Amino acid sequence: MSTPYTIIIGLEVHVQLLTESKMFCGCGTQFGAPPNTQTCPVCIGMPGSLPVINRKAFELSLKTAVALNCQIPRFTKWDRKNYYYPDLPKGYQISQFDLPLSCDGWLEIDTGRRIGIIRAHLEEDAGKSMHDEAAGKADSRIDLNRTGTPLLEIVSQPDLRSPAEAKAYLTELKLLLNYLGVSDCNMQEGSLRVDANINLHVDTPEGKIATPIVEVKNLNSFRAVERALAYETQRQWRVWQETGHQLGDVPKTTYGWDEASQTTRPQRSKEESSDYRYFPDPDLPPVTVTEEEVERVRASLGELPAALRKRLEHTYAVTSYQSDVLVNQGRALVDYFVELSDACGDSKAAANWIQQDVLRWLNDLQIDIGAFPVRPAELAELIGKVRDGAFETSRGREVLGAMIDSGKTLDEAIRSLGIEEVDDSAVVELCRRLVGANPKIVAEVKGGKPKGVGSLIGQAKKENPNVNPNRVRELCLKLIQEGE
């Protein structure tokens, strides 16, 4: 059912970069270290300390910006974003304001829509506040280990039109970042954090009316983002019907998502850029980027997820769903599939075996494809035997399990399971005997109930577990028809 409004969503994604040291000092970035053990005079803002740019962080940011189809200015500078918060010891954050390292990009999501990227700029992270209100006693502590960690902020245009589309954008963005190797994107560890801006454009007889924008925080999963935006849509619609407030009537507000109650709750009014009193950081030189550097980065990107999906669908004739599954597991699994498909000459079978069996084994063993004990050439040979009728798929799965559990070769696994190839003449003789011994089943099949042949297959498997059930079905039906 159509709604009398359009949902307008823009996302701010903060990504911690995979560097060994912080943005402007040499402190480590290891997650989980004892509180306040990864700090120095620079990252905690001691007087007289001077920052030095982390070149690796800038290179990773540039790589991401190019992959997001952003324009890369030839000149970018650093700014101080001034505000007070207990986990910001300097009283300001080194960030970028009017001259970010990239702008005006886009990311295509699975619906085919391109979501605009306003900017992707580099800054330093703040520390972490921890609050414990157990036993009715407030206890707040500050851990400054995270202070100064390189942080890339990717700001989308307000182009997203539903909570589901927001989730799709985040899923594709995370996949891209993983392929680029710029971040582990672990939301549980805070390596990827999302703030969502949302309001409604309501259709009225006087035209469209925009409701006040709300920024939603405390989103620790993509499902939480989707749920929070769905709830906030209904809340804003209800509030607009009650108050009629339009954009500009009230300040922009920050709401927090409460996972327990599945609701958003107001936190504070949102500052505008003027409130931060930005000014150029006097301790850091600007950064210049040449066209040659940008092209060198572009050439180093390799095949990114969107292009990889298209290649799998066009070259290997897999479905869009299968290409999604393969690509979303990472480049190493895609390479395994390509090698397997080329080796067995059957891309459909290769995709099915990976989806239905290999991924299940990887999950059960808690390993990645690089540690999978059965290499593509061995699995291709197994697939070939199943395809040629040496044994059925269920027996093939038993063989694969034996190869994984014991490290046996294909032939050794087959022998250990007592699987033997049955001569076709023996299968024909077995089927003749079964058809002759089961006149009631033959009569059912002749009477239009072909499923009755399943009983004959079961009897054949009891006599010889190695017979191929498909071949038994084929021969029994043929013998019954010929008996007419």
Question: What are the tens digits of pLDDT across the range 109-140?
Answer: 988 899 999 999 999 999 998 877 665 666 78
Least confident stretch, 160-164, 368-372, 390-394, 395-399: 390-394
Question: What are the tens digits of pLDDT across the range 304-343?
Answer: 999 999 999 999 999 999 999 999 999 999 999 999 999 9
Residue listed under structure tokens 């009650």: 242
Domain extent listing, the chain: 5-292, 303-416, 424-483
Q: What is the 3-state secondary structure (H, E, C) of 134-153?
A: HHHCCEEEEECCCCCCEEEE
- Separation in Å, CA 36 to CA 63, 92, 145: 31, 19, 5
Strand, helix or coil for residue 325:
helix
- Separation in Å, CA 174 to CA 221, 313, 326: 12, 22, 15
When the candidates are 3.30.470, 1.10.10, 1.25.40, 3.30.70, the CATH number that belongs to 424-483 is 1.10.10
| pLDDT band, very low/low/confident/very high, at 453 (cuts 50, 70, 90) | confident
Report how far residue 288's alpha carbon sits from residue 284's, in angstroms, rounded to the nearest whole number.
13
Question: What are the tens digits of pLDDT across the range 266-284?
Answer: 988 776 777 889 999 999 9
Q: What is the pTM of this model?
A: 0.85
Helix-helix angle 453-463:469-483, to 10 degrees: 130
